[in-house]
Amino acid sequence: MSKLSHVDQHNKPTMVDVGDKSVSERRAHARSIVLLPRAVIEQLRDGDIQTAKGPVFTTAIIAGVMAAKKTHELIPFCHPLGLESCKINIEMAADNKLVIDCHCRVQHKTGVEMEALTGACVAALTVYDMCKALSHDIVISETRLMAKTGGKQDFVHDGN
């Protein structure tokens, strides 16, 4: 049976000790899906949505990168990481779905999944915030880890 990594032998919450781990390249890809109602889709022009607050996708990318870099300040047991790369891509897909992908990379003793997940989530929240004046029917439907490499084992989402 697997054991939770953030609980010590006395069932107290704890940060994982990575002192004895070796540094290796760690990568993670996370995705958030945002469902946009027609009122928002109708504002899409030249690959972005222009609002009084500014270009939505461009702002969401900046917010997502900023959040990924501050993950350790938001999630209690995350180690501070000096991200070497954080790339966010936002694309419209079929069925009014906005797909937000966040790819993070670091050379470290611990993984970068939480940074990728945080980046994707905050980018999605930024889209909501900037478009809520157009409609409150925006839905952030899913955020998930798509893949990770480095560490004990690699992971690739199988599509289910």
Enumerate the domain spans of the chain: 24-149
Higher pLDDT, 117 or 151: 117
pLDDT at 2: 59
Round to whole Å and give the CA distance between 116 and 87: 9
Question: Band of the pLDDT at 135, cuts 50, 70, 90?
Answer: very high
Q: Which residues are catalytic?
A: 129
Quick one: 105 exposed, middle or buried, by C-beta within 10 A (0-12, 13-18, 19+)? buried
Whole-model pTM: value is: 0.91
Judge whether residue 143 has pLDDT over 70. Answer: yes
Q: The domain 24-149: what is its CATH number?
A: 3.30.70.640
The token duo for 9 is 């032998």
pLDDT at 127: 97
Q: Over range 1-15, report the average pLDDT.
A: 73
pLDDT at 111: 87
Condensed to tens digits (0 to 9), the pLDDT of residues 25-83 reads 999 999 999 999 999 998 888 888 888 888 999 999 999 999 999 999 999 999 999 99
Residue by residue, DSSP assigns the chain as ----TTB-TTS-B-----TTSPPEEEEEEEEEEEE--HHHHTTEETTEEEETTEEHHHHHHHHHHHHHHTHHHHSTTPPP---SEEEEEEEEETTTEEEEEEEEEEEESS--HHHHHHHHHHHHHHHHHHHTTT-S--EEEEEEEEEEESSS--EE----
Q: Over range 143-150, report the average pLDDT.
A: 96
pLDDT at 130: 95
